[in-house]
Amino acid sequence: MNPEETALGANRRTFLRNGLGTLGMFALNSLLRGGQDNAQDKWKGVVNPLHFPQKAKRVIFLYQAGGPSHLETFDYKPKLAALHGQGMPESFTTGQQIAQLQGKQLICFGPQYGFKKFGKSGQEICELFPHIGGVADDVCIIRSMWTEQINHDPAHTIMNTGMILPGRPSMGSWILYGLGAETENLPGFVVLVSSGKGGQMQPIAARQWSAGFLPSKFQGVKFNAVGDPVLYIDTPKGLGHDLQKASIDAINALNREQYAALKDPEILTRVSQYEMAFRMQASVPDLVDMSKEPASVLEMYGAKPGDGSFASNCLLARRLAERGVRFIQLYHRDWDHHSGIKENIPIKAQETDRATAALITDLKQRGMLDDTIVIWGGEFGRTPMSQGDGRDHHIKGFSFMVAGGGFKGGMTYGATDELGYAAVENPISVHDFHATMMYLLGIDHKRLTVKYQGQDARLTFTSGEVVQPILV
């Protein structure tokens, strides 16, 4: 039995509409506290107590959507350069899945840019990322990621939910469900999306931050660059703050009257949700207002307030982290370099390098890096083989960069083979990565489960091992 089921079993009349009845509990906190709706109505998480000592309290996932090339970012392959233009040895590729290169001749395509050693640790990073190089001693480079899905849509789905079938909760939803958030005035799981130039802009789907079979309370709330920062956060035009407040007070007063008559605890939950909605209305504008950030900080990130850029989102991520949001996911798009990788990779590097490094530096200066996990990576990597002057999708080996929250700094872990094709040394699956991230958050990935379709469903499906060597 899961702890939440236990708590639920001990409960009063609850609202359980289906097989996921175990999840009805969040609606009942007010009742557990003596029938009063009060300010402590927030979801505390089901992993309580924690399974492991908690190293990290929150996650900022800088999700580079489209599939960044590991060969022009974090995985230096001089041998591939030497074989540039020659046929890819068949021993690497026979029987392997490929995407757009189906039926085409496979030619080695050398790294398009040089690598340099950075920091005291001497980590090898592509010369296009000097700022990340500047924080090389704080980051851990993983060169041995692999995944199962070679097309964007399913690859995004598995990277986010651990499974290719839709309907599963995303990692942010699991973590919010497991741990709750430290804020009551903002959603506990926030998604920011930016795009730039220099690559095919692949679509992403709301499934990637969906709560799946968990209640929508745990879904990622996407902040928007245009219009309302959060959908429906703005008071209707002409109404004004005071009448919005008066209206919510009236609605809550009416609902309390109903509660007095019917004693249905769901009514009190409704009251507290309206209160929280009002607090969100007050806190979101303050959150997104960057005018009080010092010029030096804006400069460090390369952010212009209101431009919706990756840099602005990195700064916003720090502000969300400060306010107690549990899981912050930044999508930066158009990394899909089927062609023109040489021309385009520098554009993507310019868009992300400085802001990523600034975020790590900023968190460190504020003493938050130790308990904040920062992740930089996408849904897969790219082929060592050419596709014209670009690279195709690749799943057998690619790179992630992680920092903070209990990850070792100044370290490179795992390796692909000499041509950057397959992860051969300490390969890390998507599930392993999820397991490791959850471990740092104090969660045993095998124990945070919900009964779904007869299984104890979990983020890591049926596998996943914590990667201890990269942890402090």
Partner 1 sequence: MKQRAIAVAYAGLAAALLQGAQPVDFNRDIRPIMSDTCFRCHGPDKSSRMMGMRLDLREEATKPTHSGVTPIVPGDPDKSAIIQRIFEKNPARAMPPQMAHKTLTEAQKETIRRWVAEGAKYEGHWAYEPVKRPAVPEVSNDSIVNPIDNFIQERLAKEGLQPSAEADRRTLIRRVTFDLTGLPPTAAEVEAFQKDASADAYEKLVDRLLSSQAYAEEQARHWLDAVRYADTAGFHGDNRYPVWPYRDYVLRAFLNNKPFDEFTREQLAGDLMPNATVDQKVASAYNRLNRVSAEGGLQPKEYLAKYGADRVRTLSAVWLGSTLGCAECHDHKFDPFKSKDFYSMKAFFADVKETGLVSDRGADAWGSKLSLPSVEQKQRLSELDAQIEASKKALDAKVTATSAADRAAWEKGILARHEAGELAWSYQRPTSAKSLNGTRLTIYNDEPADSNFYLSTSNGSTLMSEHKPGQGLVIASGADPDKETYIVTFRPGEGAWTALGIEVVQDESLPGNRLARGADRFLLTEVDATVGKGAKLAFSLATASDSFGQMPENAPMTVIDGDSSTGWGISFGEARNPFIALRLAQPLKTNSGTVVTVRLHHDSEYRRATIGRFRLALSKAQYSWPENGESGVKFKARKGDDGVLTTAAERGLPAKVDEALKLPEDKRSDEQKKLIARHYAWSNPEFADLNIQLAKLETARGILQSQIPQVLVTEATEPRVTRILPRANWMDDTNEIVQPAVPGFLGKLDTGRRIANRLDLGNWLVDPANPLTPRAFVNRQWRQFFGIGLSKTIEDLGSQGEWPTHLELLDWLAAEFVLPTWRADGTHAWDVKHLLRTIVMSHTYRQTSIGNPQLDERDPDDRLLARQRPFRVDAEVVHDTALSISGLLVDRFGGPSVRPYEPEGYLAAMNFPKREYSASHGEDLYRRGLYTEWQRTFLHPSLLNFDAPTREECAVSRVASNTPLQALDLLNDPIFVEAARVFAQRILQQGGRDINRQIGWAFEQAVDRQPTQREEQILAELHRESLAKFRSATADARAFTSEGESPVAKDVKPADLAAMTTVARAILNMHETITRN
Q: How far is the CB of 210 from partner 1 (least distance, A)?
A: 7
Q: How far is the CB of 99 from partner 1 (least distance, A)?
A: 4
Q: Per CB under 8 A, which of residues 192..211 are in contact with partner 1?
A: 193, 201-207, 210
**With contacts defined by CB under 8 A, how many residues of the chain interact with partner 1?**
114
Query: Is the Cβ of residue 66 or residue 133 nearer to partner 1 in the bound state?
Result: 66
Closest CA to 222 of 213, 231, 233: 231
Q: Per CB under 8 A, which of residues 59..98 are in contact with partner 1?
A: 95, 97
> Judging by beta carbons within 10 Å of its beta carbon (0-12, 13-18, 19+), is residue 111 exposed, middle or buried?
buried
Query: Is the Cβ of residue 215 or residue 305 nearer to partner 1 in the bound state?
Result: 215
Q: Which of 40, 82, 86, 228 binds partner 1 (CB under 8 A)?
A: 228
Q: Which of 34, 49, 85, 227 binds partner 1 (CB under 8 A)?
A: 227
Q: Under the criterion CB under 8 A, does residue 387 sit at the interface with partner 1?
A: yes
- Reported as half-sphere exposure (CB side, CA atoms, 13 A), residue 446 has a value of 6
The SS3 call for residue 316 is helix
Q: Per CB under 8 A, which of residues 408..467 are in contact with partner 1?
A: 444, 446-447, 449, 451, 453-455
Query: Is the Cβ of residue 118 or residue 331 nearer to partner 1 in the bound state?
Result: 331
Q: How far is the CB of 394 from partner 1 (least distance, A)?
A: 12
Q: Which of 58, 70, 143, 152 binds partner 1 (CB under 8 A)?
A: 152
Q: How far apart are CA 27 and CA 25, in angstroms?
A: 5
> Judging by beta carbons within 10 Å of its beta carbon (0-12, 13-18, 19+), is residue 53 exposed, middle or buried?
exposed
Closest CA to 154 of 101, 207, 199, 97: 207
Cβ atoms of 221 and 358 within 8 Å: the answer is no
Q: Per CB under 8 A, which of residues 153..172 are in contact with partner 1?
A: 153-154, 164-167
Q: Per CB under 8 A, which of residues 354..383 are in contact with partner 1?
A: none
Strand positions, DSSP E, 100-200: 115-118, 123-126, 139-146, 189-194
Convert residues 22-61 into a mask of x (bound to partner 1 by CB under 8 A) and - (unbound): -x--xx----------------------------------
Q: How far is the CB of 240 from partner 1 (least distance, A)?
A: 7
Q: What is the DSSP letter of 357?
A: H
For residue 139, the tally of other CB atoms under 10 A from its CB is: 30
Q: Which of 82, 254, 282, 472 binds partner 1 (CB under 8 A)?
A: 254
Cα separation of the two ends of the chain = 32
Query: Is the Cβ of residue 149 or residue 412 nearer to partner 1 in the bound state?
Result: 149
Q: Per CB under 8 A, which of residues 298..337 are in contact with partner 1?
A: 331, 333
Query: Is the Cβ of residue 162 or residue 405 nearer to partner 1 in the bound state?
Result: 162
Closest CA to 162 of 447, 347, 430: 430
Q: How far apart are CA 102 and CA 97, in angstroms?
A: 9
Closest CA to 330 of 169, 204, 211: 204
